Structure 1
Amino acid sequence: MTAKPWRVLALLPLDEELVRGLFAQFGDAVELAFPPTRDRAGLHAALADAELVVGDFTGQLGLDADAVAAAPKLAFVQMPSVGTDSVDGAALAAAGVPLSNTAGANARAVAEWAVGAAFALCRQLTWGDRAVRERGWPQAELLARGTREIHSQRVGIVGFGAIGAEAARLFGALGCEVSYWTRRRRAEAAATYRELDDLLAHSDILVVALPLTDETRGLLGPERLALLPDRALLVNVARGGIVPDDAVLAALESGRLAGAALDVFDQEPPPADHPLRGNENVLLSPHVAGGTGQSQLTIVSMVLDNVRAVVEGRPAADVVNGVDPLPKRR
């Protein structure tokens, strides 16, 4: 390892002693720092000396272009997540700084959540639970809401990265007819490729599993949701901005959507009085589809492995912004 310690800035919203314990394995090769305050001013102050940043998976301390400009010594950014939409990857690329994520770390966890949510929507599980807790016994009412067996549903998956591919495999194992759309057709996919509008028209259950980018923001707005079959179901494990909250509400109110399972929202958390919170046809989740013990251990391991690679002068894995994966100190 290099004699000069790497100045590592940890933006993780975790207990400082826990983070220090995770990085203790690097000994004198790493000098660990934390922002003095968890706000923009504290972030910019800490970035002045940072060479390697481990990002904030909540997005609270996002690295926008101004933050990148405030980090003249920055050589590498590691996000402890698959999504990197809270980081300006282009600004980092312009500065010659590679940005890595933890690709595939929580694919199984998120795919299982998507399948579980689809089961809950098909069988009205959350609605029935609420009714019984309120001392009801709504057998006939629950059936009248349109319960269905999942194997009879046509599943469309928007996005076919690690999460989409795993979700397709799991839905296929249940006997569903599975189709997918992605910007790059996959020859090896165990599902049928359809163009996006055609996919929507043939999806009783629509699963959204692609990253939020300038190209995908608002991709599934009111016009596209109107292409779904009547009484379709929506499962969003991607980002709220891809399927805007207002569009989801309008589709629910029109009956185009019979239900939605949302792990993500335009604003997180959504306002306390947000109408989605009061809609009985929506299953709400606080952006934790990937949050299992197994996936968290995998993410920590991948982050530490990449930090070790950089500290030892080796290329980083899973660089997503097109920069040379071998970080260069300034």
Structure 2
Amino acid sequence: MRGLFLDAVDDLAGVFHRVVRPTDPAMDVLERGEIPPEELPGLTAGYDFIFDDHTQLPTEAMRGCRGLKHVIFLGTGARSYMHPEQLVELGIGVHIIKGYGDTAVAEHSIALMWAAARGLARMDGGMRAGNWIRTEGLELTGKTLGLVGFGGIAAEVARIARGSGMRVLAWNRTPKSAQGVSFVELDTLLAESQVLSLHLLLNDETRGFLDAERLGRLRPGAILVNTARAALVDEVAMMAALRSGRLRHAALDVFDTEPLPAGHPLTTLANVTLSAHSGFRTPEASDKLIRMALDIACGL
């Protein structure tokens, strides 16, 4: 078995060389950004598997990758970059990696929540521009946090939030239980949450999950945190709710288009806090991610 790391940028090449072992399958590492689709057949020729961090893998382009048998996607959101079922039909198995960044993403969710509650981004930006902006913050101790989806990341968010004195509600598509977390119907969660944090996987059922109708059922003045996938939310409806004040604030780590284009409407709203899809980016999580990917490759 021989593999190719397609897009080892943002220090991932260094992580790879730090955690790789002599007994792992032979791999070549490309320190490139996103690979254009037309280059994929040529680049992957002679390889049995690839690591994909952020490169789009359109089905038609992958049809030309005749010797490729496996794609190991570095994360859980493969559907944002490819159609897994269609690749399987081409004889290419798709593997995802869960759990590597639960604590990292949870801590980022909590950081965004507190930054939104206190208006930190607006004050910081104001002072950098020579303005003295003082925002009226919101105390979160004793407030209600609602978690939409309850996997490993949400469980970590619940642990941290409970430790800071928040009441934690959760809704999940399948029954679950967790100490100190009250599982409720979605309508109840939306109506009672002062902070709503999204933790759903993106698929055909969850795409556009938080639409205008559900945003309208949110408790007025709520904070929305999204470190999952942008496509879970109707962006136009979210911006309308932010402009009207129905949403107090949105704190976002994921976007429909990444990198976020200059001048995007989200960058013009004072009640939005933005981070560059970096919730998972810690040395601890990166090491675990690449090591888990290599372990998958060892088992192919």
Normalising to structure 1: TM-score of the pair?
0.81
Question: How big is the shift at 1:103?
Answer: 0.6
Question: How big is the shift at 1:152?
Answer: 2.5
Question: How big is the shift at 1:76?
Answer: 2.1
Equivalent position of 1:93 in the other structure: 88
| The 10-residue stretch of structure 1 (46-55 or 291-300) with the greater mean CA deviation from structure 2 | 46-55
Which consecutive unaligned segments of at least 5 residues does structure 1 have? 1-5, 311-330
Which consecutive unaligned segments of at least 5 residues does structure 2 have? none
- On the 8 A contact 1:20/1:32 being kept in 2, the answer is no
Equivalent position of 1:3 in the other structure: none
Query: Aligned ranges for residues 71-110 of structure 1 at < 5 Å?
Result: 71-85=65-79, 86-110=81-105
- On the 8 A contact 2:25/2:298 being kept in 1, the answer is no
Query: Aligned ranges for residues 199-218 of structure 1 at < 5 Å?
Result: 199-218=189-208
Instruction: Report the count of equivalent residues.
Output: 297
| Residues in 1 aligned to 2:270 and 2:25: alpha-carbon distance in whole angstroms | 53
The 1:20/1:192 distance shift into structure 2, 3 A limit, reads: closer
Equivalent position of 1:115 in the other structure: 110
Equivalent position of 1:44 in the other structure: 41
The 1:120/1:65 distance shift into structure 2, 3 A limit, reads: same
SS, match of residue 184 in structure 1? coil
- On the 8 A contact 2:148/2:197 being kept in 1, the answer is yes
| Residues in 2 aligned to 1:131 and 1:273: alpha-carbon distance in whole angstroms | 17
Query: Aligned ranges for residues 1-330 of structure 1 at < 5 Å?
Result: 6-14=1-9, 18=14, 21=17, 25-26=21-22, 29-30=25-26, 32=28, 38-55=35-52, 57-58=53-54, 61-85=55-79, 86-139=81-134, 142-143=135-136, 147-188=137-178, 190-310=180-300
- On the 8 A contact 1:7/1:33 being kept in 2, the answer is no
Normalising to structure 2: TM-score of the pair?
0.89
Q: Which amino acid aligns with 1:50?
A: Y
Question: How big is the shift at 1:308?
Answer: 2.2
- On the 8 A contact 1:54/1:79 being kept in 2, the answer is yes
SS, match of residue 192 in structure 1? strand
User: 1:233-290 CA distances to partner (integer Å, 9 max, x unpaired)?
Assistant: 0100011111132122111011110111010111112221211111111101111011
SS, match of residue 251 in structure 2? strand
- On the 8 A contact 1:47/1:67 being kept in 2, the answer is no
| Residues in 1 aligned to 2:291 and 2:12: alpha-carbon distance in whole angstroms | 18
Question: How big is the shift at 1:97?
Answer: 4.0
| Residues in 1 aligned to 2:127 and 2:27: alpha-carbon distance in whole angstroms | 55
User: 1:82-103 CA distances to partner (integer Å, 9 max, x unpaired)?
Assistant: 3212132112333454322221
Q: Which amino acid aligns with 1:118?
A: M
- On the 8 A contact 1:120/1:126 being kept in 2, the answer is yes
Equivalent position of 1:323 in the other structure: none
Q: Which amino acid aligns with 2:123?
A: G
SS, match of residue 152 in structure 1? coil
SS, match of residue 199 in structure 1? helix
Q: Which amino acid aligns with 1:102?
A: I
| Residues in 1 aligned to 2:63 and 2:179: alpha-carbon distance in whole angstroms | 41
User: 1:30-83 CA distances to partner (integer Å, 9 max, x unpaired)?
Assistant: 26375999311111222343311111x22xx22232244223333222112232
Q: Which amino acid aligns with 1:76?
A: H
Percent identity between the two aligned chains: 33
Aligned CA-pair RMSD: 2.6
SS, match of residue 188 in structure 2? helix
- On the 8 A contact 1:118/1:261 being kept in 2, the answer is yes
